Amino acid sequence: MTAPMVIDCDPGPDDIAALILARQMRNMNVLAVTTVAGNCTVDVATRNTLALMDLLDWNIPVAAGASQPLTRPLRTAGDLFGDDGLLGVELSGTGASGTPSTRATDPRPAWDLVYDVARAAHQPIDIVTLGPLTNIATALAVHPDLPQYVERLVIMGGAFLAGNTTPAAEFNAFVDPEAAERVFSSGIPFWLCPLDVTHQGYITLRELQEVMDLESEPARIFAELLRRGYEDVKHYTGGLGVPLHDPLAVMYAADPSAFSSSECFIGCETQGSITAGMTITDRYSDAQLQPNGHLVETVDRTWFIAMIMDILARY
């Protein structure tokens, strides 16, 4: 069983896919989900999350978080995923299919829920972040003693070979580079899953058809959300498939055995019209910057896809 866990996300197609997996993973102890503006507005991200909770009959607190980055105007991925954040895919049940879920959000803002859950847990918690890091940076500002209640952060974000939003920056880091830099320098141990590894963790169209053939509603939604995005993202994998950014971070948190990682310095540039959001590491420079985190570098894709199939088959 993992440590008690909070998942912070901006659903978004691959966030929903990650939550569908997390719900069925026997060793994940998810205590709460928090939402943040990123792929879409925080209101839409929260609506999508509540709809998914209905679909999965998942009764844990959901708290809405930041509607804007720490200092910058919000830039969403509406051009990619649409204003509903889900490429038009309707989560069945009473969710984003037009009739909002009747489920209520937790009255606390995300950063207070994270802190309260962390303090109440019987051991330090894991926080898995799948969107911009605004909520975690805010939690650190509002609750400076948060780090003592957190075991580790597993973060989907960053890029070292090339960005997906600008040539330098991956989307989550691009949206809120100030938050990323604040979290990287917080002293909380973290494992960063950048595009360099999530592009290894792709799913093919044939594999998505295998998921569809599982014939459960969660599996259908998983496959449909990712399939609809294929044409817009296939170039990241040379046409091989759809990168599973957020599912990979969740799978790393559940079982790092099929991944490799290395301890190193990781920072985020906050300046520059084209470099803001660029994540930087220090492998062997004369600067010899002190390691402050871990870079997840490789994944065994065969294992990754087999685990996904096994988990989805449980629905």
Residue where the block lists tokens 């950063």 = 111
Segment 189-208, which members bind ligand RIB (CB under 6 A)? none
Q: What is the DSSP string of 248-281?
A: HHHHHHH-GGGEEEEEEEEEE---STTTTTBEEE
User: Does 164 engage in binding with ligand RIB (CB under 6 A)?
Assistant: yes
User: Does 158 engage in binding with Ca ion (CB under 5 A)?
Assistant: no
247 makes contact, choosing from ligand RIB, Ca ion, none, with CB < 5 to 8 Å by partner type, with none
Q: What is the DSSP string of 95-111?
A: SSSSS--SPPPPSS-HH
46 makes contact, choosing from ligand RIB, Ca ion, none, with CB < 5 to 8 Å by partner type, with none
Stretch that binds ligand RIB, among 9-17, 101-109, 177-185, 293-301 (CB under 6 A): 9-17
Pick the catalytic residue from 122, 143, 235, 245: 245
Write down the least CB distance from residue 249 to Ca ion, Å: 9
CA distance linking residue 253 with residue 70, whole number of Å: 26
Q: CA 42: distance to chain centroid?
A: 14
Does residue 208 contact residue 171 with C-beta atoms inside 8 Å?
no
Per-residue binding string, ligand RIB, 120-159, x by CB under 6 A, is ----------xx------------------------x---
Helix (H, G, I), strand (E, B) or coil at 288: coil
Stretch that binds Ca ion, among 26-34, 176-184, 244-252, 272-280 (CB under 5 A): 244-252
Stretch that binds ligand RIB, among 20-28, 87-95, 169-177, 298-306 (CB under 6 A): 169-177
- Measured in residues, the chain has a length of 315
Segment 27-46, which members bind ligand RIB (CB under 6 A)? 38-39
Report the residue from 160, 171, 184, 222 that binds ligand RIB according to the rule CB under 6 A: 171
| Nearer to ligand RIB (CB atom), residue 38 or residue 201 | 38
Taking CA atoms, 88 is separated from 82, 85, 98, 229, in Å, by: 7, 8, 11, 11
283 burial level (CB within 10 Å; 0-12, 13-18, 19+):
exposed
Report the residue from 15, 126, 178, 181 that binds ligand RIB according to the rule CB under 6 A: 15
164 makes contact, choosing from ligand RIB, Ca ion, none, with CB < 5 to 8 Å by partner type, with ligand RIB
User: Does 54 engage in binding with ligand RIB (CB under 6 A)?
Assistant: no
Dihedral sign for Cα 191, 304, 218, 24, please: negative
* 245 catalytically annotated: yes
Taking CA atoms, 132 is separated from 23, 70, 88, 136, 183, in Å, by: 22, 10, 22, 9, 11
- b/e map 58-77, b = 16+ CB within 10 Å: beebbbbbbebbbebebbbb
Active site amino acids = 245
Binding positions for Ca ion, rule: CB under 5 A: 10, 12, 15, 130-131, 246
Binding positions for ligand RIB, rule: CB under 6 A: 10, 12, 14-15, 38-39, 130-131, 156, 164, 170-172, 245-246
